[in-house]
Structure 1
Amino acid sequence: MTDNIINKFVDAEILLDESAYKKIKNYNDSAYLVDSLIKHMTTSSPEMMVLTGKVVEDYLERTSPDILKTTYHNDSKSQMKLVPQDYDFQILKDASNKSYTNGEIRDLSSYFRSRYHKLRDLLTYKRELKDSTSIKEAMSRDDVVNIVGMVNDIRYTKNNHKLIEVEDETGSATVLIHNENHEVFEHAERIVKDEVIGVLGSRKGTLVMANEIVNPGVPRIDEKPMDFATVFISDIHIGSSTFLDGAFKRFIDWINGDFGDEQQREIANNVKYVVVAGDIVDGIGVYPHQDKELTIKDIHEQYEEAARYFGDIPNVKIVVAPGNHDASRLAEPQPAIPEDYAKGLYELKNLEFVSNPAMVSLDGIKVLIYHGRSFDDMAMTVKGMSHQQSDLIMKELLEKRHLAPIYGERTPLASEIEDHLVIEEIPDVLHTGHVHINSYKRHKGVHLINSGTFQSQTEFQKIYNIVPTCAQVPVINNGSFKMLDFS
């Protein structure tokens, strides 16, 4: 279409400026308009051989004002994007409508039993743990110990050796990691309560002397062919006084092909999916005195405003998971945002709601979406980890094969009959948010992405000197990672 427009004017020996070209291309029937303009200019004004945007606008107003109002779009609202007509979209795992807990002790027991068995199965599949025994059996032997257990307690001796208590359904054992066994001790420094690990070592009295600690881990995955682009965003916080509406509108203009340089528009034209990892709105009553920092103080109105923004992105598939600011229960797994709160968003035919976490397939590319609340616990618990480097946390969670291993701290976890936060299937992409700071790492073939925020620094963040990376949007285009800045 671009070449046809330009070539027709070249053949008619008419010069075309950029504003005229945009107005013609954005007209509903651009081919008809081109022919009509050429005829008009060569017959009525043969001396005027430069076509400007003003001339196009005057011509449209003069010849067909009614059509102008309905079919012509100005530059800020134009839809230049070539639209992918089909999506191979599947929801592979979603915890919505799968909450069976009554809050009883037996539910908690079922929850941890589910976690243990899922992760034990992953561990015993590994070569070094194929011959593992129960803890009870291992502690009755005098030789090599090969066990799988859930971490119940972590402490240090007076000589700074590490003691880790692990348990299974038959009993418990105390594992000692000597601080002079540097490689194993360094690994043990990243162990957290309630994760499931394998231990290889030998028994010495009542202790197990560890020679190796084994995580469920991930094998290296092959790269899949990808001939489209996927955009990853989170933590938009619509309704907050610190929501960056100008930057978000530029993002929407870009995805519709109306913002950015030529290369950026080419990427926009290739976008097929947008994945949102939670906190689409700022919510109500999330923290004390939040109402003082809100421009929209009604949760339904916040989602209606969100629907107005996302309604301007009609040409891609949008996938939305909840975060801790959204109108879903706080305990993870969070069901999808209910329709009662977000009717306007549910009316968008190109938008899908999923739980947090959820696994989806985008034309065969498996994306694990998790908001990232557990990053708070990992940053506070594990030496060397911080919100500023969430890629390191994502790598660790992937190796532990659990999105929120620590129970009973800042991350509320529902004691479901099944633990839905175990990473049973390895994704091609792990997409997270929550910390408002972009990060990216490729680990064993998996793209680890934290998508930053569209919210400027809050008062809470100022207190803790957290500097967000605002309006910087990660994109995987044809398999390659790009970061686009709309700030």
Structure 2
Amino acid sequence: MTNNILLKFAKKGINLSPDAYAKVMKSDNPVNLASELIVKLKSNDFKPVDLISVNGKTIDEITGNISTSSDEHAIQDNTHEVESGVESTDETKDKSDIKNTDSIKPKSKLETSNDKDESSEGIVKKEDSEKIEDAKIQFKRNLEKSNVEYDFEVLQDSSNKSYTSGEIGDLITYFQSRYEKLSKILKQRPDLKMTTKIADIEDGQTTLNLILMVKEIRTTKNGHKFIEFEDDTGSLSILFSNKNEELFADAEKLVRDEVVGVIANKDGDFVIANQLIYPDVTRIEEKEMDFGIVFLSDVHIGSLTFLEDAFKKFIDWINCEYGNEEQRKVAEDIKYLIVAGDIVDGIGVYPNQDKELSIKDIREQYEEAARFLGNIRSDIKIIITPGNHDASRLAEPQPAVPEEYAKSLYKLNNVEFVSNPAVVSLDGINVLIYHGESFNELPMAIKGLSYEKNEQMMEELLRKRHLAPIYGERTPLASELEDYLVIEKVPDIFHTGHIHINSYKKYNGIHLINSGTFQTQTEYQKIKNIEPTPAQVPVIDKGQYKLFRFID
């Protein structure tokens, strides 16, 4: 019931603080109370910004348990309540798995990386540069005007396109949008140019070419897969035999609600699959680029485990003031910096988070973030998307971080805010940015996937052409009138975060990058035996992948 209650609010763009959530769940009938609260919260008395984190006082006010004026429902600035829009029950902590991921204990020295598919610049060492002053970073660089010309374009941003009411009709429209978008992609395959709808299958028809959505997956007593599919005309069960090893292995990667092509044989009422066709991405040609892009995520400013010294070194490096000659040369090439969510640690994201915070006010956390980013040289354009720790709604797609909470960041003249997910064009290089909340459930849904090899999860999402295919489980998804998580355009770069483990792979010519974190390992991660990689910064420098480390 917990998941249903949370989704009920998330679908309406409403997020509850820990005490508000507790009050709802302790009521005699949480489902009915949730419905009544949603009606009142969506009335004209409350603004959208008020719904980013509804506190316990607001719940009491609405239910009549206490007497307060209507002016007291606003979000508190200096409390420990949720302002990043994530529930805080123990069940939620387990449900998120990686929601609060952090990083491994810093080593005294880190050697040059020799991972395959990457040419690493290695650790940026103190002895390679002038000694860094211990003084706090001053907000100064952004005051300098830049003469650099940017060919910057936002190709996809759902920030101002949320029209869902959360009703069943919207949910149907949402899945119709998903099916139509992925059908269009699949119909580009030769075997699927001519397809049959389920309702149009004739009695004597033996060969079926179908485009279907997965409804239910079952395993027979003999170990075969018996999968129920559907389209917009009906449903059909298809057998995937384990005797066809290659096909069966492909079928084992199917998850609910994804859209695929199926070639099958029909014998009476019995249908056996011959071929499974994923939407997948076609191989792309690499584009020439004469500049560099830096990829960050999960900085977690405001956390006690935020690696401030390492982040200062990173800023000095990107300002060409730190590192050896070769490392500074790469820094000179940097034109864009992307932050794929969780630039701050948020408030009330998980139980007892306040004990692990150095800054316990969400606005002050963004002020601190502006102080750091404001010291990055002004000729670098910075693109920021939200994550599950940021002050945006939890349900995906997440709109851009509101100016209400990040006023100082909005004042920086080289910062652009976009939604999660988003697609941007940087001088002709298309970058798909997704924080990565769906990584929480993929390892449990698909055998062989793991957090430690998150580049494999990224590859699987590209094969499915969807960033969060499973609806109604661990990843909160808003039933928008359009499914914005379908990967319609094939990107040149796919950038994610959330897992806090740096990874890189090239798939069909596409750079797959998870940018790790600037946070050390938390107690929660120790329990889960998760060892993230701290202060490792990936760069695409003139088309080549490089990795820099900022821990002594």
Q: TM-score, normalised by structure 1?
A: 0.83
SS of 1:251 mapped into structure 2: helix
Among residues 189, 198, 205, which one is paired with 2:268 in the alignment?
205
Higher RCO (CA < 8 A, seq sep 6+): 2
Matched, 1:154 2:217: yes
How far apart, CA to CA, are the structure 2 residues paired with 1:263 and 1:390? 30
The question of whether the paired residues in 2 share the 8 Å contact of 1:236 and 1:281 is answered with yes
Q: Cα distance, 1:141 vs. partner?
A: 3.9
Q: Cα distance, 1:84 vs. partner?
A: 6.6
| Residue in structure 1 matched with residue 177 of structure 2 by the alignment | 114
How far apart, CA to CA, are the structure 2 residues paired with 1:277 and 1:464? 24
| Residue in structure 2 matched with residue 459 of structure 1 by the alignment | 523
Deviations 1:109-154 (A, max 9, x none): 0000000010011111211111111012236443101111100000
Among residues 168, 190, 195, which one is paired with 1:127 in the alignment?
190
| Residue in structure 2 matched with residue 307 of structure 1 by the alignment | 370
| Residue in structure 2 matched with residue 419 of structure 1 by the alignment | 483
| Residue in structure 1 matched with residue 534 of structure 2 by the alignment | 470
How far apart, CA to CA, are the structure 2 residues paired with 1:134 and 1:230? 45
The question of whether the paired residues in 1 share the 8 Å contact of 2:386 and 2:392 is answered with yes
How far apart, CA to CA, are the structure 1 residues paired with 2:221 and 2:436? 35
Q: Cα distance, 1:421 vs. partner?
A: 0.3
| Residue in structure 2 matched with residue 403 of structure 1 by the alignment | 467
Residue identity matched to 2:537:
V
How far apart, CA to CA, are the structure 2 residues paired with 1:450 and 1:136? 43
Give the direction of change, closer, same or farther, for the CA distance of 1:355–1:475 in structure 2 (3 Å limit).
same
Matched, 1:223 2:286: yes
Among residues 310, 334, 337, which one is paired with 2:398 in the alignment?
334
Residue identity matched to 2:471:
Y
| Residue in structure 2 matched with residue 239 of structure 1 by the alignment | 302
How far apart, CA to CA, are the structure 2 residues paired with 1:221 and 1:82? 36
Residue identity matched to 1:166:
F
Deviations 1:417-436 (A, max 9, x none): 00000000010000000000
Among residues 441, 445, 450, which one is paired with 1:381 in the alignment?
445
| Residue in structure 1 matched with residue 109 of structure 2 by the alignment | none
Residue identity matched to 2:329:
E
How far apart, CA to CA, are the structure 2 residues paired with 1:375 and 1:130? 32
How far apart, CA to CA, are the structure 1 residues paired with 2:201 and 2:310? 59
SS of 1:374 mapped into structure 2: helix
How far apart, CA to CA, are the structure 2 residues paired with 1:247 and 1:435? 19
| Residue in structure 2 matched with residue 143 of structure 1 by the alignment | 206
Residue identity matched to 2:547:
M
Q: Cα distance, 1:258 vs. partner?
A: 1.0
Residue identity matched to 2:402:
P
- Equivalences, count: 416
Q: Quick one: percent identity of the two aligned structures?
A: 60
How far apart, CA to CA, are the structure 1 residues paired with 2:371 and 2:458? 33
The question of whether the paired residues in 2 share the 8 Å contact of 1:138 and 1:146 is answered with no
How far apart, CA to CA, are the structure 2 residues paired with 1:335 and 1:139? 46
The question of whether the paired residues in 1 share the 8 Å contact of 2:206 and 2:267 is answered with no
| Residue in structure 1 matched with residue 388 of structure 2 by the alignment | 324
Give the direction of change, closer, same or farther, for the CA distance of 1:162–1:475 in structure 2 (3 Å limit).
same
Q: Cα distance, 1:83 vs. partner?
A: 6.8
Deviations 1:368-427 (A, max 9, x none): 000000011111110000111111111111011100001111100000000000000010
Deviation above 6 Å: which 4+ runs of structure 1?
76-79, 81-84
How far apart, CA to CA, are the structure 1 residues paired with 2:269 and 2:182? 26
Residue identity matched to 1:281:
V
Q: How does 1:339-350 map onto structure 2 within 5 Å?
A: 339-350=403-414
| Residue in structure 1 matched with residue 358 of structure 2 by the alignment | 295
SS of 1:337 mapped into structure 2: coil
Residue identity matched to 2:187:
T
The question of whether the paired residues in 1 share the 8 Å contact of 2:203 and 2:268 is answered with no
Matched, 1:251 2:320: no
The question of whether the paired residues in 2 share the 8 Å contact of 1:234 and 1:452 is answered with yes
Deviations 1:178-208 (A, max 9, x none): 0010110000111100000110010133332
Unaligned runs of 5+ in 2: 1-128
Unaligned runs of 5+ in 1: 1-21, 24-73
Q: TM-score, normalised by structure 2?
A: 0.73
Among residues 161, 172, 188, which one is paired with 2:235 in the alignment?
172
The question of whether the paired residues in 2 share the 8 Å contact of 1:84 and 1:272 is answered with no
Give the direction of change, closer, same or farther, for the CA distance of 1:199–1:258 in structure 2 (3 Å limit).
same
| Residue in structure 1 matched with residue 340 of structure 2 by the alignment | 277
The question of whether the paired residues in 1 share the 8 Å contact of 2:280 and 2:464 is answered with yes
How far apart, CA to CA, are the structure 2 residues paired with 1:241 and 1:206? 62
| Residue in structure 2 matched with residue 91 of structure 1 by the alignment | 154
The question of whether the paired residues in 2 share the 8 Å contact of 1:438 and 1:449 is answered with yes
| Residue in structure 2 matched with residue 431 of structure 1 by the alignment | 495
